[in-house]
Amino acid sequence: MPCYNAGKYVAEAIDSVLAQTYPNLEIIVVNDGSKDNSAEVTEGYRSKGVKVIHQENRGQCAAANRAYAEARGEYIKFFDADDILSPGFVEAQMRRLNGRTDAVASARWGRFYNDDVLSAQTTPEANWKDMEPTDWLVESYIDCRGVMQCALWMLPRMLLEKTGVWDERLSLINDFEFFSRVLCHASEVLFCEDAILYYRSGISGSLSAQMSHKARESECDSLLMGTSHLLAKRSDPRARLACANVCQHLIFDLYPQYPDLRAKLAARVAECGGAEIKPSGGRYFQMLRPFIGWKLARRLQRACGR
């Protein structure tokens, strides 16, 4: 569990792991140079068997890699310091894997806001089932709605030894590249209906809320690297369309800023034969788009803050 300035939430996250019905757990928290009270909060869990490591701020990927290097288990779960697991989460995934080292286990998830975990609702997705891993990626990419949040997955150490760890050059949506790479080396995704991740959203200052050029460049690079992993495994029309769609989706989101990043993404879209996805946006954007085009509608949306 990487932890950066998550002092308000990390206790609840750790408590949800300590409450797991699966008995054989090793919990490692890496405090990545937090400036809040994260160090004090995490230190309080040493007496409960949690291993706590403090390091200078090096980023989420570096913290995750440090925790992995310290881990001794045969199965690994990466977990954000502000999310919550249902009590039987780990047990359900370990039961599905049943000792396999070639497959990964996935789970259901629901988003919640304002610290109200009871408000989380799980909305079924097309890939909430057992699947061939590249099929899972295609379904996740093609409508740009799939989530690869790290806590969804239980990963065999033997698989990670083949794929490598987190790319420390990346920050924003680093999970896209990492799990695309891991799934391209797995033989099966095993879905666990009884495991639920409660995904905390809307946190001010969170990694996913970053909008700097550096963060956006990470987002762009992660998509290009992740889609390259998939295209190296298969290049059928649906896979190419999925890769084009996920890159075009980010182009829509970046416009009219970041022309350098949009150009890199557009090259991937063209390489894959073009995208079919339509731009998303609020009610005013969708009202204007048919009449003035998506680019002008997006500019007006940005100007008006809608």
DSSP letter string, 120-188: -B----TT-S-B-HHHHHHHHHHTT-----GGG-BEEHHHHHHH----TT--TTHHHHHHHHHHTT-SE
Give the number of other CB atoms < 10 A from CB of residue 194: 14
Q: How far is CA 181 from CA 9, 79, 132, 177, 225, in A?
A: 29, 18, 14, 6, 9
pLDDT digits (tens, 9 = 90+) for 109-142: 999 898 888 888 888 999 999 999 999 999 999 9
Global pTM reads 0.93
- Is the pLDDT score of 206 beyond 60? no
Q: Are 184 and 230 in contact (CB under 8 A)?
A: yes
| CATH architecture for the domain at 2-209 | Alpha-Beta Complex (3.90)
Q: Where are the domains of the chain?
A: 2-209, 213-304
Q: How far is Cα 243 from Cα 99, in angstroms, rounded to an integer?
A: 32
Mean confidence (pLDDT) of the chain: 94
pLDDT of residue 118: 85
* pLDDT of 306: 59
